[in-house]
């Protein structure tokens, strides 16, 4: 037997083992068990006492500075129409209560779900004749945080809209898909191993209860899409661009997965 033939024979079990491991791994991800509704918990519960105190005290929560900017933007007239958000919607503290807890929602004109940031920009385009804010801009985060605050304490309640169902499933597919050089799915950490330690921190269940959040690691306010991109980069995967359908579908699935939990916006996280 030639040397090449011997090497091929020795390598075959290794190759088969790799294929089998990948197949079983994919089956495990596909069949993962979602967290039962009565076992869901916010990442807030695993924070230190100091971080909890920072979130709980509006005078100490750094994200409240963004909220104040959002309140000013709500009243500011913009665009060719010369309208403010308040001109159409009125007092946000009254009219916007519960709104953030119902997004992403289906936009009939676009034929797809949009998240709250996208809804703000659609209003700027369609109603104010104004240029949309860029993703992660100070202005867009501020308005989103201000609207989120009006729903703080409200239960997350994704719309009972049959048009959303295929997009929820698409979001679930992204959540359970292995990606990147580390070949990991979101579900493997946040459904299968939540509560365990990773680099000295507890793995959270990944419920989007407080976005936009002030993250101590960032030293700034950021969106849920920023956090999703961070996770993809951590898996050594190519992140989707801001506003991508994959991001919005994942947001929709995560909000559906967190249904009934209380909104904490603007939350603080390590």
Q: Which of 115, 74, 67 is nearest to 243 (CA)?
A: 115
DSSP at 72: H
Query: Within 13 Å, how many C-alpha atoms sit on residue 133's CB side?
Result: 21
- Locate the DSSP E strands across the chain: 105-107, 112-114, 197-198, 201-202, 213-215, 220-222, 268-269
CA 173 – CA 187 distance, rounded (Å): 10
Residue count of the chain, please give it.
Answer: 270
Name residues whose C-beta falls within 8 Å of residue 163's C-beta, 6 or more positions apart in sequence.
106
Among candidate residues 88, 186, 189, 231, the one labeled active-site is: 231
The strand pairing partners of 83, in sequence order, are 78
Q: Pairing state of beta strands 112-114 and 105-107?
A: antiparallel
Asked if residue 207 lies in contact with residue 254, where contact means CB atoms within 8 angstroms, the answer is: yes
Q: Is 189 a catalytic residue?
A: no
Tell me how many degrees the CA angle 109-115-116 measures, rounded to the nearest 5: 105
Asked if residue 130 lies in contact with residue 80, where contact means CB atoms within 8 angstroms, the answer is: yes
Any idea which residues carry the catalytic annotation? 231
């Amino acid at each position: 037997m030639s040397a090449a033939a011997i090497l091929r024979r020795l390598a075959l079990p290794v190759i088969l083992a790799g294929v089998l491991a990948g197949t079983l791994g994919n089956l495990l991800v596909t069949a993962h068990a979602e967290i039962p509704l009565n076992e869901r918990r916010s990442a807030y519960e695993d924070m230190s006492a100091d971080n909890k105190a920072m979130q709980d005290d509006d005078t100490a929560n750094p994200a409240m500075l963004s909220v104040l900017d959002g309140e000013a933007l709500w009243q500011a007239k913009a665009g060719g129409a010369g309208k403010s958000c308040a001109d159409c919607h009125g007092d946000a503290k009254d009219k916007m209560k519960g709104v953030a807890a119902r997004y992403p929602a289906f936009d009939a004109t676009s034929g797809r779900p949009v998240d709250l940031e996208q809804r703000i920009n659609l209003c700027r385009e369609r109603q104010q004749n104004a240029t949309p804010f860029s993703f992660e801009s100070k202005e867009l985060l501020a308005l989103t945080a201000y609207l989120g605050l009006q729903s703080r304490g409200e239960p997350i309640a994704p719309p009972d809209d049959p048009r959303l169902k295929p997009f929820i499933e698409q979001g679930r597919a992204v959540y359970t898909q292995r990606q990147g050089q580390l070949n990991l799915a979101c579900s493997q950490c946040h459904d299968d191993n939540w509560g365990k330690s990773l680099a000295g921190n507890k793995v959270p269940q990944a419920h989007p209860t407080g976005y936009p959040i002030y993250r101590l690691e960032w030293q700034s306010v950021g969106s849920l899409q920023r956090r999703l991109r961070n996770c993809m980069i951590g898996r050594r995967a190519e992140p989707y661009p801001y506003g991508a359908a994959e991001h919005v579908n994942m947001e929709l699935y995560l909000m559906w997965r967190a249904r009934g939990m209380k909104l904490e916006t603007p939350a603080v996280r390590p």
